Structure 1
């Protein structure tokens, strides 16, 4: 026997979270020249502690695609630009045949980020050969993460929002708007800590 569904919780039309968990107060608008394309693993899409939505709402030029294995033709279209080599992947360089000189991307017009756990991001790379072919941007001397509400296995592992903002600062230079976005992220982290503390 089917039981009737309970009432739907009202959701914020902007961040799509329940009104009680709305994150819009932490949005800090920032203009970015390089587009961010966030490839989000399906397990991250509804994760309450995920930071990708806050990053998307804050940045002027940011898209989210949800999936694990993407259609090669659609992905190729999404990665295509008019300038060769202008789409980069934010990911540590782990390909021994690539010289370590590919650490900065002055010609980067689009930056791809994988919004997933490290284990899932490696799987996404394996499942999508087009991503493996992209030049990579590595963060230079990233600070310790401010993201205390989710466990990181290594000190250099950052949230998607932190990684995206630090990469933009590396590409586009210091910006008061990017600094303000990180302050908004601190508020988001405090909100999540208060909601999920034992």
Structure 2
């Protein structure tokens, strides 16, 4: 496997002072899907074309967490880039991406925390440009800090999503059910941009990932004919 998140993880691990110890780290994990090898779901990676791009701005250790769902986005959306976030520096490749004329960047963030004149709820595509969704991949507390302390994002429109559903993500705890995981946010962005097949596939892929992850954690057998696997099978 070689995609943006995979490469970013390799860079982050290379400069680690000590190994990152995730819960259940004694398990032998598949190096590609991060799920224990007994419940590997690499064979379920969907193949769907997209017009949109996703830019993941990832908090320092987020890329090391096996429960991270930014990986799923990079698995599915070919035009995914990933950058580690630092308060004191910005990657020159990120700045070049934001200035690339083929893209119309949108920072995806709740509008209630942003000056009203920056907030949009719909896309306004410009001729010759495709939407580039910038997702802050972090805990909510970390994401707010990242948003405030990233001046290179300050001139960009902020896409404020208004999801109708509650989060289905079950691998980490959140105090609020309306806080979606990164893959759920990406699926909503893809839907808004008209990449409907990709949005549906990503939702199904998240459900299958969650099922495999939890089954491995609880030492349960997999049911490869459940609703989640059947929904994803049409995109293989």
Q: Pick the TM interval, shorter chain.
A: 0.7 to 0.9
TM-score computed with the length of structure 1 as normaliser: 0.80
Partner of 1:25: 43
8 Å CA contact 1:30, 1:178 repeated in 2? no
Residues 78 and 18 (structure 1), Cα distance of their counterparts in 2 relative to 1, 3 Å cut: farther
- The correspondence for 1:113, drawn from 127, 135, 139, is 135
Moved more, 12-21 or 162-171: 12-21
**1:74-113 correspondence to structure 2 within 5 Å:** 74-82=93-101, 86-95=104-113, 97-99=115-117, 102-107=120-125, 109-113=131-135
Aligned mates of 2:29, 2:217 — CA distance in 1: 19
1:21 positional shift: 6.1
8 Å CA contact 1:89, 1:137 repeated in 2? yes
Unaligned runs of 5+ in 2: 1-26, 220-236
Aligned mates of 1:35, 1:120 — CA distance in 2: 23
After superposition, give the CA deviation of every residue in 1:87-106 in whole Å (9 maximum; x if it has no partner): 11111113564248621123
- Report the 3-state secondary structure (helix = DSSP H, G, I; strand = E; otherwise coil) of the residue aligned with 2:135: strand
Residue 150 of structure 2 corresponds to residue 155 of structure 1: no
Residues 46 and 167 (structure 1), Cα distance of their counterparts in 2 relative to 1, 3 Å cut: same
Residues 95 and 148 (structure 1), Cα distance of their counterparts in 2 relative to 1, 3 Å cut: closer
Aligned mates of 1:51, 1:10 — CA distance in 2: 19
Aligned mates of 1:31, 1:173 — CA distance in 2: 8
Unaligned runs of 5+ in 1: 1-8
TM-score computed with the length of structure 2 as normaliser: 0.69
**1:41-190 correspondence to structure 2 within 5 Å:** 41-69=59-87, 70-71=89-90, 73-82=92-101, 86-95=104-113, 97-99=115-117, 102-107=120-125, 109-172=131-194, 174-175=196-197, 177-190=198-211
After superposition, give the CA deviation of every residue in 1:4-56 in whole Å (9 maximum; x if it has no partner): xxxxx977564466645644234222222121011111221111211111110
Aligned mates of 1:104, 1:126 — CA distance in 2: 23
1:138 positional shift: 1.6
